[in-house]
């Protein structure tokens, strides 16, 4: 059965339709937060039997958001620093879905009308399937680029259009000699998937690679660190309801989980000492750990 509140009709204006669904997403975010808060309330607190220290397990939306943004910043800085060391150059891409995923289209006069090529009866399916389509398109492109060079890093950010249809921004760090073939592969994949609104920006290549950090963090912080509480909430609901990962990037030698364990277990004096060192070298804690730690695996053999 079609939910009329989510069905695009000629009788409901675009503005009202989008606003109504944003409200649904806003309350969905609150619902998920309440569920997580209630879950942690039912957990027993952890107690250190040696020191007597009690760790209270709780869930706080704002603190979780801030911690996530901080971790992303650390990882982005580490990735860019590694790219500099390996003499890679940044390239900015934007992928926008084909017409069938967009409920509205803009005429040459700037007037927005219902898009008759839109294939969905409700917005939820178009967002969910559109996100999967974006991932498939990017995966196809990335695999082809990897056939020419293994030395590649990426940072991806997924955002909603005003219509709530997702689109993707990507920074690739590639070897300079791979620029032309990367460009050819990008436009070939776009043609195969009938993408018309795309971007392949080489201008970043003429600037310092550090500018790439600010370039991509602009998109990350816009969606993750906004001061607009309503915007953050409905966007959080948009991601959670449609299982959209707002930011993804290449795997680094150190995982986020290991980084957190290292960072939060450091004694205060050692952390302050490292802080001075990384400030002098213009590094992040994440990069410091990558360059100064080794992850090993210990396998135990059970003797019979």
pLDDT at residue 80 tops 70: yes
Cα–Cα nearest to 213, from 22, 65, 77: 77
Per the model's pLDDT, the better-predicted residue between 57 and 98 turns out to be: 98
Question: Read out DSSP for 24-42?
Answer: HHHHHHHHHHHHHHHHHHT
Report the share of the chain in percent with pLDDT over 90: 30
User: pTM here?
Assistant: 0.76
Residues 6 or more apart whose Cβ sits within 8 Å of residue 144: 185, 189
Are 161 and 260 within one domain?
no
Identify whether 207 is part of a domain: yes
- Over residues 129-139, the mean pLDDT reads 95
Domain span at 239 = 61-249
Q: Are residues 184 and 279 in the same domain?
A: no
Give the burial class of 242: count Cβ atoms within 10 A of its Cβ; 0-12 exposed, 13-18 middle, 19 or more buried: buried
Answer yes or no: do 69 and 193 share one domain.
yes
Residues 88 and 123 in one domain: yes
Closest CA to 210 of 249, 171, 168, 247: 171
Q: Is the pLDDT of residue 148 over 50?
A: yes
Using an 8 Å Cβ cutoff, are 237 and 25 in contact? yes
What is the pLDDT confidence band of residue 244, given thresholds at 50, 70 and 90? very high
User: What is the pLDDT, as a whole number, of residue 11?
Assistant: 38
Q: Are residues 280 and 182 in the same domain?
A: no
Q: Are residues 240 and 268 in the same domain?
A: no
The predicted pLDDT at position 18 comes to 83
Is residue 219 domain-shared with residue 267, that is, in the same domain? no
In a domain, 304, yes or no: no
Residue 150 DSSP symbol: S
Residues 177 and 275 in one domain: no
Mean residue pLDDT across the chain: 80
The DSSP symbol for 191 reads H
Range with the lowest mean pLDDT among 27-41, 100-114, 193-207, 208-222?
208-222
In angstroms, the CA 192 to CA 98 distance is: 11
Does the pLDDT of residue 287 top 90, yes or no? Answer: no
Q: Are residues 94 and 177 in the same domain?
A: yes
CATH code for position 126: 3.30.70.1910
Residues 117 and 266 in one domain: no
Strand partners, 46: 55
| Tokens found for residue 276 | 């001075």
Find the range with the poorest average confidence among 51-65, 109-123, 155-169, 226-240.
51-65
Query: Crossing angle for the helix pair 268-280 and 285-292, nearest 10 degrees?
Result: 100
pLDDT for 304 equals 54
Provide the angle, in degrees to the nearest 10, between the axes of the packed helices 256-265 and 285-292.
Answer: 100
> Rounded CA gap, 155 and 165, in Å?
20
Kindly state whether residue 36 falls inside one of the protein's structural domains. Answer: no
Residue 30 has pLDDT above 70, yes or no: yes
Instruction: With a cut of 90, say whether residue 7 has pLDDT above it.
Output: no
Residue 184 has pLDDT above 50, yes or no: yes
Question: Mean pLDDT throughout 75-88?
Answer: 84
User: What would the pLDDT profile of 190-242 be if each residue is shown by its tens digit?
Assistant: 999 989 888 888 776 565 666 666 777 777 777 666 778 899 899 999 999 99
**Residue 18: inside a domain:** no
Shared domain check, 287 and 178: no
The number of distinct structural domains making up the chain is 2
What is the average per-residue pLDDT within 22-32? Answer: 92
Report yes or no on 198 lying in a domain: yes
What is the pLDDT, as a whole number, of residue 1?
38
Higher pLDDT, 92 or 204: 92
Which residues have C-beta within 8 Å of that of residue 301, sequence separation ≥ 6? none
For residue 10, what pLDDT is reported? 47
């Amino acid at each position: 059965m079609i939910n009329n509140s989510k069905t695009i009709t000629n009788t409901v204006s675009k503005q009202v339709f989008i606003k109504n669904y944003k409200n649904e997403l806003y309350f969905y975010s609150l619902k998920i937060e309440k569920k997580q808060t209630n879950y942690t309330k039912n957990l027993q607190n952890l107690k250190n039997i040696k020191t007597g220290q009690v760790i209270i397990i709780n869930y706080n939306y704002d603190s979780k958001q801030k911690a996530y943004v901080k971790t992303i910043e650390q990882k982005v800085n580490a990735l860019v620093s590694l790219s500099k060391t390996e003499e890679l150059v940044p390239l900015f891409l934007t992928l926008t879905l084909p017409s069938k995923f967009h409920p509205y289209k803009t005429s040459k006069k700037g007037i927005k009308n219902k898009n008759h090529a839109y294939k969905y009866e409700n917005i939820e399916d178009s967002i969910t399937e559109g996100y999967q389509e974006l991932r498939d398109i990017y995966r196809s492109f990335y695999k082809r680029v990897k056939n020419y060079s293994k030395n590649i890093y990426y940072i991806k950010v997924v955002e909603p259009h005003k219509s709530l249809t997702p689109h993707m921004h990507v920074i690739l760090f590639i070897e300079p000699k791979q620029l032309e073939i990367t460009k050819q592969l990008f436009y070939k994949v776009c043609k195969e998937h009938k993408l018309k609104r795309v971007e392949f920006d080489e201008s970043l290549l003429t600037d310092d690679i550090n500018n790439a950090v600010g370039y991509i963090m602009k998109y990350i912080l816009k969606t993750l660190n906004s001061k607009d509480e309503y915007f953050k909430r409905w966007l959080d609901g948009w991601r959670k309801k449609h299982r959209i990962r707002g930011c993804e990037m290449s795997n680094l030698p150190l995982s986020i989980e290991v980084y957190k364990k290292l960072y939060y277990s450091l004694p205060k004096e050692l952390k302050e000492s490292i802080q001075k060192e990384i400030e002098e070298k213009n590094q992040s804690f994440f990069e410091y750990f990558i360059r100064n730690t080794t992850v090993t695996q210990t396998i135990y053999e059970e003797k019979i």
